[in-house]
Chains A and B, each alone.
Chain A
Amino acid sequence: MAFVGWRSRDRQAWGLLLPMLAIMLVVTGYPLVSTIRLAFTDTSLVGSHAGVSLVGLANFIHALSDPDFRQAILRSLYFAFVSVGVEVVLGVLVALLLNQKFVGRAFVRTLIVLPWALPTIVNAMMWRLIYNPDFGSWNALLTQLHLIDGYRSWLGDPGTVMNMVILADVWKNYPLVTLIVLAALQVIPQELYQAAALDGAGPWRQFWKITFPEILGPLSVALMLRMIDAFKVFDIIFIMTRGGPADATKTVSFYVYQESFTYLRAGSGAAYAVVVGLMCAILILLYLMLLRRQQRAA
């Protein structure tokens, strides 16, 4: 669009961007660079800052050789892969279901937005009460259905705790996948299915030949979005388990939080944060590539 000359056009473009860029540079750019700088020092959150000295790569060497931190990375990966895996499969299945014709369809479509809208902290608190070992409704339900013999401590057992947290997370987050896939399903031309049916393709073949390619773009964007979020998981862990029992749910975000704000070791906390940030950056780059491809296709 050529309203005005090239140079003043450029100035206008940057002028409009200025407020946003100023805020982002000061409140995310500066702290990000600072975190990286902190990671090379032995800064502590207590005492004076006078004695701070550069320690080179010591914090990073410490972080990467820390077996507890490696455990935390594995836990975050487990949480991310299992919860997002279930969310994607369940999300697509529910989207396919809600794309069928049935009485009350509009109402049910509205209903599944509710878990997604529930605040994360309320969801975590709600499930913590549901799983309560002494009088929670999960125990009551399974006992009254004779599925278990007696009440159990679902969040107190290192063997079950992670999966129980994942269940709570899936319940809240799979609707995002459903909503995105459902939107994509609704624009697939029905003629494609009619033609395929004439060629003798059954529902299974129709799904893989027609539906799946059509929803793949939006689905992969949703998947990466959830993956990045799940890898960073903190809130639900903090409320439901505080990383316990026996560190069974101590994910990377929780680990860095403790290093910085419980043990007050800012320098080494920053090094852990940089490592976590770099791992996220890989996922984010993948996501941005997918998002750009989606934009081009649209």
Chain B
Amino acid sequence: MTRRKLVPTLLVHAGVAALVVATLAPLAWLFIMSISSTKDLTTVPLHWLPEHADLSNYLRLMSLAPHSTGQEFLYALRNSLAVSISATAIALLAGVPAAYSFSRFRGRMGLLYAVLGTYMLPPVAFILPLYLAFSALHLLNTVGALVIVYCTILLPFVTWLLKTNFDAVPIEIEQAARLDGAGLLGVIRHVTLPISRAAMGTAALFAVLLAWDEFFYALLYTNDIQAKTLPVAIGDFAAGRAIDYSLISAVGVLASLPPVLIAFFMQKSLIVGLAHGGVKG
């Protein structure tokens, strides 16, 4: 290698090494905390690695004993799963026809931008009336209330992503099906959707990630294990007076597994979504 190329190559590798360390260190530390005993974590100067791995935190979380941390965690896990999956399903059901309409019937783009703009407004602009309405309908502290609110977070985004994708589906394929006598909904179901399977997957993944991450509405509209989601439960654990560091780290690791695994293995589709969508932070 010539000297001219050596310096840039070294710089690139040093940069990459720094990047890898800065990315992995906090994550590794979260995991180490989750398998350390409180004694290991509270020594000064700190020993970075525990003397032996302690998996008792994870075991404690797998318990349904009344009023235990495990019960709180498992219910929150259930609620998070229920809310994310239901809201995503509804968002896709309503988002697919809407996206198709925006893509194939010209002239309503202003409406799409209006919907996108509304959803980007801060939640504080919506929380009070929704709180009063849910309270009047006895929906406070229910998974249903969160599903309703999350739909409005997922819908604009899913619609946008699918619209961009439908734009790329050649219209000629649909016209052939129309000539064979298929109705509009038949064309969408049997022609457009099968071609757009990848985009549907991407939209569903993003929707689940968005719902899994939501905190503000869940904090305001839930108050016990019947409806609290994982982010709210984690907030509670972190706010407790006697914080058990290794236990909340274990909760954090488990709560992160689904989104992190999705991101790790489905990265290609996520990046396509980011590039085309550009509407999720």
Whether both chains belong to one complex is answered with yes
Measuring CB to CB, which residues of chain A are less than 8 angstroms from any residue of chain B?
1, 3, 9-10, 12-17, 19-21, 23-24, 27-32, 34-35, 38, 45, 94, 97, 100, 102, 104, 108-122, 125-130, 132, 134-135, 137, 140, 143-144, 151, 171, 173, 176, 179-180, 183-184, 218, 221-222, 225-226, 228-229, 231-232, 234-235, 238-239, 252-253, 256-257, 260-261, 266, 269-270, 272-274, 276-277, 280-281, 284-285, 287-288, 291-292, 294-295
Q: In the assembled complex, how far is the CB of residue B248 from the closest CB belonging to chain A, in whole angstroms?
A: 6
- B151 touching A108, Cβ below 8 Å: no
Closest A-B pairs by Cβ, 5 of them? A117-B263, A34-B129, A13-B105, A20-B98, A140-B46
- B120 touching A280, Cβ below 8 Å: yes
- Provide the residues of chain B in CB contact with A295, threshold 8 Å: 164
Interface core residue of A119, A173, A225 (most chain B CB under 10 Å): A119
Partner of A16, one of B13, B98, B252: B98
Interface core residue of A126, A140, A229, A294 (most chain B CB under 10 Å): A126
- B121 touching A23, Cβ below 8 Å: no
- A31 touching B44, Cβ below 8 Å: no
Q: Which residues of chain B from 267 to 281 have any CB-CB distance to chain A below 8 Å in the complex?
A: 267, 270-271, 274-275, 278-281
- B43 touching A114, Cβ below 8 Å: no
- B98 touching A27, Cβ below 8 Å: no
Q: In the assembled complex, how far is the CB of residue B98 from the closest CB belonging to chain A, in whole angstroms?
A: 4
Instruction: Known A27-B151, A125-B248, A238-B219; judge A17-B108 contact (CB<8 A).
Output: yes
- Provide the residues of chain B in CB contact with A284, threshold 8 Å: 117, 120-121
Query: Which of chain A's residues has its CB closest to B90's CB?
Result: A23
Give the total of B residues in contact with A, Cβ under 8 Å.
99
B93 contacts A by Cβ under 8 Å? yes
Given A16-B98, A140-B45, A253-B123; 12 other pairs, CB 8 A cutoff: A13-B101, A13-B104, A17-B108, A24-B155, A45-B131, A117-B209, A117-B263, A120-B213, A126-B29, A129-B33, A171-B26, A274-B125
Query: Which of chain A's residues has its CB closest to B120's CB?
Result: A284
Query: Which of chain B's residues has its CB closest to A151's CB?
Result: B44
- A24 touching B115, Cβ below 8 Å: yes
Instruction: Known A9-B105, A232-B122, A285-B117; judge A134-B42 contact (CB<8 A).
Output: yes
- Provide the residues of chain A in CB contact with B164, threshold 8 Å: 295
Query: Which of chain A's residues has its CB closest to B260's CB?
Result: A117
- Provide the residues of chain A in CB contact with B219, threshold 8 Å: 238
Q: In the assembled complex, how far is the CB of residue A98 from the closest CB belonging to chain B, in whole angstroms?
A: 8
Say which one of B65-73, B194-202, B231-239 lies at the interface with A. Answer: B231-239
CA distance A140 to B36 in the complex (A): 16
- Provide the residues of chain B in CB contact with A108, threshold 8 Å: 16, 19-20
Q: Can you list 8 contacts pairing A with B, beta carbon distance less than 8 Å?
A: A28-B119, A28-B152, A108-B16, A110-B264, A117-B262, A120-B213, A122-B255, A180-B278
B203 contacts A by Cβ under 8 Å? no
- A32 touching B252, Cβ below 8 Å: no
Q: In the assembled complex, how far is the CB of residue B83 from the closest CB belonging to chain A, in whole angstroms?
A: 14
Interface core residue of B43, B98, B249 (most chain A CB under 10 Å): B98
Q: In the assembled complex, how far is the CB of residue B76 from the closest CB belonging to chain A, in whole angstroms?
A: 11
CA distance A260 to B131 in the complex (A): 11
Is the contact region of chain B dominated by helix, strand, or loop, or is it mixed? helix
- Provide the residues of chain B in CB contact with A12, threshold 8 Å: 101, 105, 184
B127 contacts A by Cβ under 8 Å? yes
Instruction: Known A114-B264, A281-B117, A287-B120; judge A24-B152 contact (CB<8 A).
Output: yes
- Provide the residues of chain A in CB contact with B108, threshold 8 Å: 13, 17
- Provide the residues of chain A in CB contact with B27, threshold 8 Å: 114-115, 118
B58 contacts A by Cβ under 8 Å? no
Q: In the assembled complex, how far is the CB of residue A189 from the closest CB belonging to chain B, in whole angstroms?
A: 17
Q: In the assembled complex, how far is the CB of residue B4 from the closest CB belonging to chain A, in whole angstroms?
A: 13
- Provide the residues of chain B in CB contact with A257, threshold 8 Å: 124, 127, 216
Q: In the assembled complex, how far is the CB of residue A128 from the closest CB belonging to chain B, in whole angstroms?
A: 7
- Provide the residues of chain A in CB contact with B238, threshold 8 Å: 125, 128, 239
Q: In the assembled complex, how far is the CB of residue A214 from the closest CB belonging to chain B, in whole angstroms?
A: 14
- B264 touching A135, Cβ below 8 Å: no
Q: In the assembled complex, how far is the CB of residue B19 from the closest CB belonging to chain A, in whole angstroms?
A: 6
Interface core residue of A27, A128, A176, A257 (most chain B CB under 10 Å): A27
- Provide the residues of chain A in CB contact with B271, threshold 8 Å: 179, 183
- B126 touching A225, Cβ below 8 Å: no
CA distance A201 to B274 in the complex (A): 32
B220 contacts A by Cβ under 8 Å? yes
Query: Which of chain B's residues has its CB closest to A106's CB?
Result: B267
- B128 touching A260, Cβ below 8 Å: yes
Instruction: Known A19-B93, A183-B274, A273-B128; judge A135-B281 contact (CB<8 A).
Output: no
- A221 touching B278, Cβ below 8 Å: yes
- Provide the residues of chain A in CB contact with B13, threshold 8 Å: 102
- B125 touching A35, Cβ below 8 Å: yes
CA distance A222 to B271 in the complex (A): 13
Query: Which of chain B's residues has its CB closest to A19's CB?
Result: B94
- Provide the residues of chain A in CB contact with B152, threshold 8 Å: 23-24, 27-28
CA distance A281 to B116 in the complex (A): 11
